[in-house]
């Protein structure tokens, strides 16, 4: 009996080898599965819900000759304004004046860092702070996640949201709301169906996409040599302004993305060259639909005398009608619609000249 033990042991090991190959993938973590950020499971559920709702709404629209909201009101497409903030909305009164009289053409959503004490301004911002908000940090993937949450909540909230404009608390409008709406939808847009059923790229996304910035090599390897491969080759890596205006097609594309997010959420080894929020969106849209994007932003930023990676901060003594008209001028054939950054104490002089600015 004892003499047969080695044979039995060897035979048992031989039989167990196939079982090891069968069950090991279920026991051991797959090598290519990336780490999950603390908030990521909640975000994924939110993004899937938004995509599912958008898909079902699109199917119903294609199968019907009438608006899902009824033909009597003949609703027009809306602009969703996405405020990404970690401070009070100092310019709320200016935005109130900007939006006045156009309630059926816009929606507001605010992602406010819950770790910071922020006082809701009320008015048109009442009830517009999203409950899905999480802590955000500059030069980190948390800013990407915050923008994606805003997109998802806006899509879930109102099927008429067609354009999604990401703005900061230090951002101001340079034109009237009607000018902005007409510019984005290229008059005449008579109904919701005109925008949602028209072929792209009639309604492009306005996002800055730059391929020849001198800082790109250093930023590409900020997470380590070859870390971005194979998903993003250096030749595909792009940079652009954090603030954009996406159409609905591209907003849903952002929410569906998993492949590039796995790369851009990885921690940087060189934090001085790490600005994922300036690279993720331009790179993704450049790879997926470059012809559907303008490749420039509609938000003016003054990088003259920039400090520590921050652009010029306008002070009250600089504010004038002449300045705002000057900030409208761009190198493209289109006018800038918004501008940043303005200090909080610029509100008073901005309100004093707002009638002149919103007359166009």
Q: What is the pLDDT of residues 274-311, one digit of tens each?
A: 999 999 999 999 999 999 999 999 999 998 877 777 89
Q: What percent of the chain has pLDDT over 90?
A: 72
Q: What is the pLDDT of residues 65-94, one digit of tens each?
A: 333 333 435 688 999 999 999 999 999 999
Tell me the H-state helices in 85-223.
Answer: 92-99, 142-157, 177-185, 192-196, 216-220
pTM here is 0.85
**Banded pLDDT at 60 (limits 50, 70, 90):** low
Beta carbons within 8 Å of 54's beta carbon, 6+ residues apart? 155, 248, 252
Entry field: residues in the chain: 360
Task: Give the helix/strand (H/E) hosting 163.
Answer: strand 161-167
The whole-angstrom separation of Cα 151 and Cα 145 is 10
**Banded pLDDT at 332 (limits 50, 70, 90):** confident
Q: What is the pLDDT of residues 144-181, one digit of tens each?
A: 999 999 999 999 999 999 999 999 999 999 999 999 99
For the chain, the structural domain boundaries read 39-54+76-358
Mean pLDDT, the chain, as a whole number?
A: 86
The reported pLDDT for the residue numbered 39 is: 85
Helix (H/G/I), strand (E/B), else coil: 205: strand
b or e along 25-53 (b: 16 or more beta carbons within 10 Å of the residue's beta carbon)? eeeeeeeeeeeeeeeeeebeebbeebbee
Q: What is the pLDDT of residues 191-227, one digit of tens each?
A: 556 566 554 447 899 999 999 999 999 999 999 999 9
The reported pLDDT for the residue numbered 5 is: 54
- The pLDDT of 249-258, averaged and rounded, is 97
The whole-angstrom separation of Cα 250 and Cα 257 is 11
**Banded pLDDT at 56 (limits 50, 70, 90):** confident
Residue 22 has pLDDT above 80, yes or no: no
Q: What is the pLDDT of residues 230-247, one digit of tens each?
A: 999 999 999 999 999 999
The reported pLDDT for the residue numbered 244 is: 98
């Amino acid at each position: 009996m004892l003499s047969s033990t080695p044979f039995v042991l060897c035979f048992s090991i031989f039989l167990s080898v196939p079982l090891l190959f069968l069950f090991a993938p279920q026991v051991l973590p797959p090598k290519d599965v990336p780490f999950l950020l603390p908030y990521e499971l909640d975000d994924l559920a939110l993004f899937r819900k938004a995509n599912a709702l958008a898909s079902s709404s699109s199917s119903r629209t294609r199968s019907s000759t009438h608006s899902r909201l009824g033909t009597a009101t003949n609703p027009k497409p809306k602009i969703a304004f996405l405020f990404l903030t970690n401070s009070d909305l100092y310019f709320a009164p200016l935005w109130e004046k900007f939006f006045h009289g156009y309630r059926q053409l816009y929606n507001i959503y605010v992602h406010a860092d819950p770790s910071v004490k922020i006082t809701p301004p009320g008015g048109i911002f009442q009830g517009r702070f999203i409950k899905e908000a999480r802590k955000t940090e500059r030069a980190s993937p948390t800013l990407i996640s915050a923008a994606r949450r805003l997109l998802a909540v806006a899509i879930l909230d109102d099927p008429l949201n067609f354009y999604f404009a990401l703005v900061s608390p230090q951002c101001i409008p340079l034109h009237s709301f009607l000018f902005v709406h007409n510019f984005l939808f290229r008059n005449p847009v008579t109904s919701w169906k005109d925008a949602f059923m028209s072929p792209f790229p009639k309604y492009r996304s306005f996002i800055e996409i730059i391929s020849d910035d001198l800082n790109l090599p250093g930023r590409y390897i900020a997470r380590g040599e070859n870390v971005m491969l194979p998903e993003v080759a250096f030749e595909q890596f792009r940079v652009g302004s954090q603030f954009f205006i996406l159409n609905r097609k591209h907003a849903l594309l952002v929410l569906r993305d998993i492949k590039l997010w796995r790369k851009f959420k990885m921690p940087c080894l060189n934090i001085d060259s790490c600005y994922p929020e300036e690279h993720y969106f331009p790179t993704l849209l450049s790879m997926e639909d470059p012809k559907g994007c303008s490749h420039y932003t509609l938000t003016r930023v003054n990088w003259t005398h920039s400090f520590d990676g921050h652009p010029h901060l306008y002070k009250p003594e600089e504010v004038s009608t002449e300045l705002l008209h000057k900030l409208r001028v761009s190198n493209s054939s289109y006018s800038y619609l918004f501008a940043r950054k303005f200090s909080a104490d610029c509100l008073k002089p901005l309100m004093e000249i707002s009638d002149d600015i919103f007359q166009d």
